[in-house]
Chain A
Amino acid sequence: MSIRRRIATVVAAFAVFAIAVMIWAPTVGSTPISLARAFDRSIPWDDNIDAQIFFVARLPRVLAGGLVGATLAAAGVVLQALLRNPLATPFTLGVSAGASLGAMLAVTMRLELSVLGITSIPLASFAGSLVATAIVYALASSQRRGLSTNVLLLAGVTLNAFFSALILFVQYLADFAEALRAIRWMMGGLDVASYVPIVAALPLIFISFGAFAMMTRTLNLLSVGTEAAAARGVNIVGAQRLAFISASLATGAAVSLGGPIGFIGIIVPHLVRLMIGSDHRIVLPASALFGAAFLVLCDLAARTVMSPLEIPVGVVTALIGGPFFLWLLVKRS
């Protein structure tokens, strides 16, 4: 089978799975609804509870889950290749800690501004992720020869710790209700009940995915080594910059939409590699599709398992992801 055929077949299979999950997920939930009633246009909107449960409560949740899952998984693939480190996640370089600090400040300062319907917490968390990205980028490119992945990694890890300390400090000064709200935000949540935040996150994620699509071959070479990639004529510095910035921006947008939902960015890429090898031309789209389906399914568990109570979706991904990843690790070695 030619490589093109293989890419097409595998990606199509993953796409079918992801689409099936995303069609099925909004039809189930903690409340039984009648789909016939939900899609019945003759019932006035204000009287149609089934339609509102479907279109206001569930569909935005599923779409947000799909978007966030796809982004975090794809960004994980990109960063693992860029840093040549299998333990890298979209949050390794400080993006999520910056976002969390932003959200924390918005909560404790009781910011209530909104821009084009986007509310203060998503705005502040996105701003925080931009600040973190800028700092890490500035540190890593301060050396003469382009971007140093070692510095990138160390700067990211240190910035994570530093921002975490700031988060704890702000949390300590905050009162209880605020601290609780901020902690809850950090557990991740996809019950957006509105399409506005999804639409707001889309452009940046879309552009980043465009960048990802262009660099699959480069990522293959980069993950082997920068010398080998340079020998093949890759503009190393340019590729590294593009990879870092696009992955960070996409992660920032995803985190501002769903909170820092962990494990997706590391579990999904490894699982996909285990299934289909390590060619980024397949791994990247397959991870994005599988990440979307995985997060939508985790959120489905989050909203149904303990109903009427909800489990924070970040807790579900960690509870499923942690043991699963360890099993994977043992099995491989």
Chain B
Amino acid sequence: MTKHANTKNTKVTKTSTKPIILAAQKSVFVLTFVFFGSFVFAFSAQTPPRRIFSLVPNVTEILFAIGAGPQVVAVSNYDVEPPEVRSLPTVGALIDPDTEKIISLRPDLVITYGSQTELQDQLKRTSIPFFDYRHGGLDHVMVTMRALGARTGHVDQAETVARRLQAAIDAVKARVAGKPRPRTLLVFGREPGSLRNIYASAGRGFLHDMLVVAGGEDVLNDIDKEAAQISTEMILARKPDVILELNAANRLNDVDLKAVTDPWMKLSSVPAVRNKRVIVLNGPGLTVPGPRVIEGIEKMARALHP
């Protein structure tokens, strides 16, 4: 039996020596490649980027929150938070990144927005690594925190920050759980002094998620878009219980506040107007997808569930 088997085996080996040697050579080659590759990868993972350029302001905030702030050396023209970034050099912004300047200043990681494909192509050509960011829902903030933690060598800190933010969000959820959810129109833009060109958060996206966490029911739930322009007729027909209006002003005195809310008074049959629940949420950065988002959510929750 054993003999038989042996002969058979030898036969098999004999007939297929060449392919086996070839395969062995190939696999050695692949193994070496994988070995060195993983070594390079391990090496690069061990040295996190030291010259990060962030072209996306909310990602800059996330970088600072997870402890990667000292590695950030240049930001976009629109970056103002945290205050440390105001003294950093700027390298353009979303539609007009200064590609030449970026490449010449030799970053070792560039945070780009998903639509900046031309910049990304240039970076690929010059072998400069980049982190491709795109806005998503509320959960995406935590996802981005963790991904950036891994990319910048702050895995633990990013995990802590992400968990803390999630816990704060869950705490708001728990606080409003079981309470009646007012049907809410979340307005983020309109022509000053009138009810023209009203833009509101619709059935999905970041603002929508914030509103849901804060215990509101989006009155435009059925519109599968992040934002919608909405007519006065639609507002009258949808009868929101609360109208939340985002206003970027730092502070609004009573006169300014009246000027902002006055145009709504024309729609006096809307419950929100009749019950004086047109609420202006003011302050910059209320809705920045980053560590400060919890302040915005808490403001919304306080407005919806006083």
Contacts and interface: CB of A to CB of B under 8 A. Distances in A.
A199 to B, nearest CB: 14
B180 interface: no
A30 B268 CA distance: 20
Nearest to A117: B193
Nearest to A304: B233
A47 B269 contact: yes
Interface string A160-193: 0000000000001001110001001100010111
A30 B234 contact: yes
A53 B236 contact: yes
Main secondary structure, interface of B, reads loop
Given A57-B231, A191-B232, A193-B196, A177 B189 contact: yes
B38 interface: no
Interface residues of A, number: 39
Contacts, number: 99
B232 A181 contact: no
B237 interface: yes
Interface string B266-291: 11110000100000000000000000
Interface in B183-197: 189, 191-197
B237 A119 contact: no
Interface string A300-320: 000100011110000000000
Nearest to B238: A308
B148 interface: no
Interface stretch (B39-47, B151-159, B221-229): B221-229
Contacts of B222: 308
A120 interface: yes
Contacts of B263: 193
Contact of A181 (B197, B223, B228, B239): B197
Given A47-B269, A56-B266, A308-B230, A119 B194 contact: yes
B78 interface: yes
A132 to B, nearest CB: 22
Contact of B232 (A56, A307, A309): A56
B236 A52 contact: yes
Contact of A52 (B78, B229, B259, B267): B267
A48 interface: yes
- Give the 5 A-B residue pairs with the shortest CB-CB distance, closest first: A57-B233, A119-B193, A31-B237, A193-B195, A193-B232
Given A120-B193, A194-B266, 11 more contacts: A30-B234, A48-B269, A49-B237, A51-B269, A56-B266, A57-B233, A119-B192, A175-B78, A191-B196, A307-B234, A308-B230
Interface of B: 78, 94-96, 189, 191-197, 220, 222-223, 225, 228-234, 236-237, 239, 259, 263, 266-269, 274
Interface of A: 29-31, 45-49, 51-53, 56-58, 110-112, 114, 119-121, 172, 175-177, 181, 184-185, 189, 191-194, 197, 303, 307-310
27 contacts: A30-B233, A30-B234, A31-B233, A31-B234, A31-B237, A49-B236, A49-B239, A52-B236, A52-B267, A53-B233, A53-B236, A53-B237, A56-B267, A58-B233, A112-B192, A112-B193, A121-B191, A181-B191, A184-B229, A189-B197, A191-B195, A192-B196, A194-B194, A308-B220, A308-B228, A309-B223, A310-B229
